[in-house]
């Protein structure tokens, strides 16, 4: 049913949002679990920890490629059915990760697991927005992303513990089981949301004509890489630079996840009230606390505080998602999915640049300064985006004034 253009869920809005958020929890756990399990995966593949960072990059590459391809191929598919299909790929990709042999086998499985990531979050954001009034859209998207944040509070610490106790393969087996649960919940709790009848691959591709879409994606790609620069190597940083035991790492990951949950709620709330100032403020926050991590990493208490603050910077995700949906009104599916391609390209960039700094001998904690530099890059791109937007607005107003004068 629909009421005033708001789609009504079959068993209530709260349960539908929980189902969508749980998808984010399972998928986010599958993504971030590799970062907490990197030493064990490196040992199984007989490679160094920096080389094992390519498993993270393989997943990110899957997201980057899968997001646009799936968005284009499924532009006319009913959204709940699409979400269930994506849940099936989550199941298969993570099950394959649990049994894949050797370096290249694991890398291929992680690539497969990454394919549905962006399409799921993009489609889930569209469904979440369809269930609430426009004035609450960013907060609704934030509740979907809360599952991704909760992955770092609940899922990653749990899978890290499982990996330490039973082997890293057990962690991905649990995520695969989560994919099966997701399919059932989506079918029972989420409403059908028909695709736009005018949707088509060509129409979705029109998103690439917009400079604002490209600039917003660039903000995510560059600016968010800083968080992944730190997070990709968080386990060895904590054990080697901070001096905590490996068994204590899940507690630090949970604190990071708590910060992400706080930031996710705050980001949606701020974006619904003042979108552009919120984006600028969040990026500046990230610059400050990523830089601070470099100096805080040597002390457990300071490292814990810095990780919480960096986690709060996750507020950028719902804010940029809302920004993309605003500037891509006629290509919602592709734009919403590409946001997560951008974030996972930033994952690959963060893991790569952080690995370069470590391999160059600057120390595990150097990833904080690398992250701060990347966040500054994102800030500069956002400044350019607003400057271009204002220039075009001034040009339109000038044309309107000239036309009215004649």
What digits encode the pLDDT tens for the residues 225-269? 888 899 888 889 999 999 998 888 888 888 888 898 899 889 888
Dihedral of CA 92/96/97/98: which sign? Answer: positive
pLDDT band at 282; cut points 50, 70, 90? very high
Provide mean pLDDT across the span 61-72.
Answer: 85
Give the per-residue pLDDT at 381.
95
> What does the alpha-carbon distance between residue 123 and residue 349 come to, in Å, rounded to a whole number?
25
Q: What is the mean pLDDT of residues 194-219?
A: 79
The residue with greater pLDDT, 23 or 333, is: 23
In this prediction, residue 78 has a pLDDT band, given cuts at 50, 70 and 90, of very high
pLDDT digits (tens, 9 = 90+) for 153-175: 788 778 888 888 898 999 999 99
Neighbours of 201 (CB within 10 A): 13
Q: What pLDDT, on a 0 to 100 scale, did the predictor assign at position 199?
A: 66
- Do residues 253 and 157 touch, judged by C-beta distance below 8 A? yes
CA 231 to chain centre: 13
**How far apart, in whole angstroms, are the C-alpha atoms of residue 380 and residue 357?**
22
Domains and CATH numbers, the chain: 2-405 (1.20.1250.20)
Residue 308 makes CB contacts below 8 A (sequence gap 6+) with: 255, 256, 258, 259
Q: What are the backbone dihedrals phi and psi of residue 6, each rounded to the nearest 5 degrees, phi first?
A: -110, 125
pTM above 0.95, yes or no: no
């Amino acid at each position: 049913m629909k009421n005033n253009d708001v789609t009504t869920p079959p068993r209530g809005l709260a349960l539908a949002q929980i189902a969508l958020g749980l998808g984010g929890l399972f998928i986010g756990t599958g993504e971030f679990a590799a970062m907490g399990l990197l030493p064990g995966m490196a040992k199984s593949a007989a490679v160094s920890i920096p080389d094992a960072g390519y498993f993270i990059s393989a997943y990110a590459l899957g997201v980057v490629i899968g997001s646009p391809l799936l968005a284009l191929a499924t532009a006319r598919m009913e959204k709940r059915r699409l979400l269930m299909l994506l849940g099936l790929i989550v199941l298969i990709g993570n099950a394959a990760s649990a049994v894949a042999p050797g370096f290249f086998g694991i890398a291929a499985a992680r690539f497969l697991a990454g394919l549905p990531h962006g399409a799921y979050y993009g489609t889930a954001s569209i469904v979440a927005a369809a269930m609430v009034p426009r004035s609450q859209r960013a907060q609704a998207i934030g509740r979907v992303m809360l599952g991704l944040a909760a992955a770092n509070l609940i899922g990653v610490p749990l899978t890290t513990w499982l990996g330490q106790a039973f082997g890293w393969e057990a962690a991905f087996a649990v995520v695969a089981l989560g994919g099966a649960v997701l399919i059932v919940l989506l079918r029972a709790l989420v409403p059908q949301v028909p695709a736009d009848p005018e949707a088509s691959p060509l129409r979705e591709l029109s998103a690439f004509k917009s400079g604002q879409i490209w600039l917003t994606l660039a903000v995510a790609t560059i600016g968010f890489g800083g968080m992944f620069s730190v997070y990709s190597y968080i386990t060895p940083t904590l054990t080697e630079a901070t001096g905590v035991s490996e068994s204590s790492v899940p507690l630090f990951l949970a604190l990071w996840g708590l910060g992400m949950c706080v930031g996710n709620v705050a980001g949606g709330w701020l974006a619904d009230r003042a979108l552009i100032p919120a984006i600028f403020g969040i990026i500046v926050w990230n610059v400050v606390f990523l830089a601070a991590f470099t100096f805080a990493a040597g002390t457990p208490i300071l490292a814990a505080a810095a990780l919480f603050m960096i986690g709060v910077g996750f507020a950028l995700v719902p804010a940029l998602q809302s920004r993309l949906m605003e500037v891509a009104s006629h290509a919602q599916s592709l734009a919403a999915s590409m946001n997560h391609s951008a974030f996972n390209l930033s994952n690959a960039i963060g893991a790569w640049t952080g690995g370069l700094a470590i391999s160059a001998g600057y120390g595990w904690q150097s990833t904080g300064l690398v992250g701060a530099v990347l966040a500054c890059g994102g800030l500069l791109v956002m400044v350019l985006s607003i400057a271009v937007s204002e220039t075009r607005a001034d040009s339109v107003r000038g044309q309107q004034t000239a036309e009215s004068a004649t």
